[in-house]
Amino acid sequence: MTAVLSKEQKLEIAENLLGSCDSLSWKGEKYGVEGDELGLVAEEYGVWRCETCGWWVEEGELAVEADGDVICQDCYDEENKWI
């Protein structure tokens, strides 16, 4: 069975993801939805997971590396501080 999330629930999930490093499947279990579905919610609300540290950040806080990887500003600063 697929749970249909209300707009309020989606917003709550998006806010809940921010500032955490929880996996989608773990979070999905909490809300009774599939991790894939949560991925869509995250996308809809502009919440992205940093590929390097695994933390969820807002789209505006992301940096794109020269090789195309999307990472958070913290990781970007960390990787580029010696250049």
Least separation in angstroms between CB 22 and Zn ion: 14
Measure the CA–CA gap between 68 and 32, rounded to whole angstroms: 33
Whether 73 and 53 have beta carbons less than 8 Å apart is answered as no
What number of other Cβ atoms are within 10 A of residue 3's Cβ?
12
φ, ψ dihedrals at 18, nearest 5°: -60, 135
Q: Which of 13, 33, 62, 75 binds Zn ion (CB under 5 A)?
A: 75
Footprint on residues 2-61 left by Zn ion (CB under 5 A): 50, 52-53
Q: How many residues line the site for Zn ion (CB under 5 A)?
A: 5
Measure the CA–CA gap between 5 and 38, rounded to whole angstroms: 10
Identity of the residue, 44 or 77, whose beta carbon is nearer to Zn ion in the bound complex: 77
From 9-17, 21-29, 39-47, 66-74, give the range in contact with Zn ion by CB under 5 A. Answer: 66-74
- Which residues lie near Zn ion (CB under 5 A)? 50, 52-53, 72, 75
